Amino acid sequence: MLQRLSDISRTRHTWHNATNNVICEPLRFFYPQNKEDIIEIVNEAERNNLRVRAVGSGHSFSEVAKGNDFLMDMKLLRDAGIYESPWVKTGVQNRHFVMADAGITIRRLNRLLDKMGLALENMGAVDFQTVSGALMTGTHGTGIKRPAFPDMVRSVRIVGTGGKLIQIEPADGITDPVFHQSNSQIELIQNDEIFYATVLSFGGMGIVYQLVFEVRTSYYIKERRYLIPWSKLKVEMHNGSFMQMVQDNDFVALRINPYVIKGDNLASVVVQNVLPDGSHSGGRNFLSGFMGNLEPLIENTVKLANRKPKNTARRIQLALKFSKVIKYTDKNFKVLYQFGSAVLRYGISSEFAFEADTNKVIEVFEKIFANTVHNATYSDVYQPSHISLRFVMPSKALLSSAFGRPTMYIDVPTLNTTIGDFELLDSYQTIMMNMGGIPHWGKVNSKLYLNTQFIKDHYPKWQTWVDVRNQLDPKRTFMSDFIQKMGLS
């Protein structure tokens, strides 16, 4: 092995994800500093018939990032800058493109973009993930006309088999192929199937080292959160006014207490809209924001949930009441960020995609409510958190659970180490999958393992994805146990 590879790697390293439920001890763990390091790692692996995998921030609860041979942490690749002409074709030069290193976190990217007067179109509820990690599992936020990560990216650069540098874009990609060919050592592929297979591929096409986002000029968002009983919300869902609100506002989400208190379930609706200018006013409830960042407080909540489980319903109710926001305006990334950092170690969830349809929301929510009551009365197991609902626009990524249709996501978070946490997530998976819900690739999704028929039934383009993977990775260097368990090998 090259001295350089020894210098940037270690053996006997135990890697675990943020919530500690996925652990592996790879043969070698690398910290590449640039693409040349990644090329050497891939070449070394292929000389020894080993597999290669990258990890981002380890924020997936599923086994998607696990790798037993060569594993690399991308955190030292963390820069971003404008991707501009002459690389960009004429005709798209009035749009904004930013090239980001694979290991940059969303948090750092947001702040760098802000300094450039730019911003992402959307993000998930937190910003701890790396951009490539978020891309590879299809991380989404909310907004029925807003893209998830794979649909904000216009170009991906990977180190592929043989250590080859490849830049992948759609057929009508943003890069000028003639200029590129005469000025770059990187092979440019402009092909729809290859691009839309690669943007959500769990690292299965190669190691992403850079990607280009289409961004927009910086913007402010105004947020309002209000409380509404489920009985009233259900009427709005039945008569179409809730869905109209989802269509009419930029970002809409809701959280609901699965337990009935005073005869009803309480919901908190979050409505956010882009503002033309940046006047700053109000703020989120200070106490809830402050408490959300205190790990000891969450630890106590977990202890309480275990010691006094019967208080769970009231605790969720209180948290929803605290979350009320009359008027809050701030920079986009501050408003879209929804959680305190303390959820990092303790929040763990399964999340399911359905075609956006409020009749389905009612059916699914009422099933969950019935399940929580049954668990509480029958075995004293409690769902320790609210349930949430978010929306996203149709995706072009072949393995996106939002492929080709406006989609809603129902998230059932539990608190890691509360009694019955994983058993609850198991039961939600069974219930939701029977109702047609597609589990999130990055969240607890163990019921998908070896359930090849489910994947085939719910991902119409799965075979194209497999074909592209086989074409890009003939030596199976970027294959993983996760991809095999999903029946995508």
Ligand X SMILES: Cc1cc2nc3c(=O)[nH]c(=O)nc-3n(C[C@H](O)[C@H](O)[C@H](O)COP(=O)(O)OP(=O)(O)OC[C@H]3O[C@@H](n4cnc5c(N)ncnc54)[C@H](O)[C@@H]3O)c2cc1C
Nearest distance from C-beta of residue 292 to ligand X, angstroms? 11
Least CB distance to ligand X at residue 332 (A): 15
Q: Which of 137, 385, 401, 445 binds ligand X (CB under 6 A)?
A: 137
CB of 7 to ligand X, least distance (A): 20
Binding string, residues 409-448; x marks residues near ligand X by CB under 6 A: -------------------------------x-x------
Which positions from 78 to 107 touch ligand X by CB under 6 A, shown as an x/- string? ------------------------x-----
Nearest approach, Cβ of residue 46 and ligand X (Å): 16
Q: Distance of alpha carbon 269 from its chain centroid, rounded?
A: 21
Q: Nearest distance from residue 176's CB to ligand X, in Å?
A: 25
> By CB neighbour count within 10 A (0-12 exposed, 13-18 middle, 19+ buried), where does 188 fall?
middle
Choose, by CB under 6 A, the member of 45, 64, 119, 243 that binds ligand X. Answer: 64
SS3 (DSSP) at 441: coil
Residues 183-212 binding ligand X (CB under 6 A) are 202-203, 207-208
| Site size with ligand X, rule: CB under 6 A | 34
The region of 52-60, 258-266, 275-283, 329-337 touching ligand X under the rule CB under 6 A is 52-60
Q: Which residues pair with 391 in a beta bridge?
A: 408
Least distance from ligand X to the Cβ atom of residue 347, Å? 5
Q: Which is nearer to ligand X, 132 or 383 (CB)?
A: 132
Could you give the C-alpha distances from 211 to 157, 166, 203, 214, 470, in angstroms and in order?
A: 6, 11, 13, 10, 22
Among 394, 395, 399, 396, residue whose Cα is nearest residue 468? 399
Determine which residue in the list 8, 9, 18, 274 makes contact with ligand X, applying CB under 6 A. 18
Distances (CA, A) of 312 to 67, 303, 315: 37, 11, 5
Cis amide linkage into residue 258, ω under 30° from 0: no
DSSP label at residue 65: G
Choose which of 26, 133, 150, 439 interacts with ligand X (CB under 6 A): 133
What is the token pair recorded at 259? 């337990």
Verify binding: residue 8, ligand X, rule CB under 6 A: no
User: Considering only residues 28, 35, 51, 53, which one is a binding residue for ligand X as defined by CB under 6 A?
Assistant: 53
Answer for the pair 59, 75: CB distance below 8 angstroms, yes or no: no
Spatial contact of 208 and 54, defined as CB atoms under 8 Å apart:
yes
List the Cα angle 155/189/467 in 5-degree steps: 100
Taking the complex as a whole, the smallest distance from the CB of residue 24 to ligand X amounts, in Å, to 11
Do residues 355 and 407 make contact, with C-beta atoms less than 8 angstroms apart? yes
**DSSP per residue, 176-217:** -HHHHHHH-SSEEEE-HHHHHHHTSSTT-S-EEEEEEEEEEE
Mark the segment that binds ligand X (CB under 6 A) among 55-63, 186-194, 287-295, 400-408.
55-63
Interaction residues for ligand X, span 319-348 (CB under 6 A) = 343-344, 347
Of residues 127 and 176, the one with the C-beta less far from ligand X? 127
Q: Which residues are at the interface with ligand X (CB under 6 A)?
A: 18, 53-60, 64-65, 74, 102, 124-126, 129-130, 132-134, 136-137, 139-140, 202-203, 207-208, 343-344, 347, 440, 442
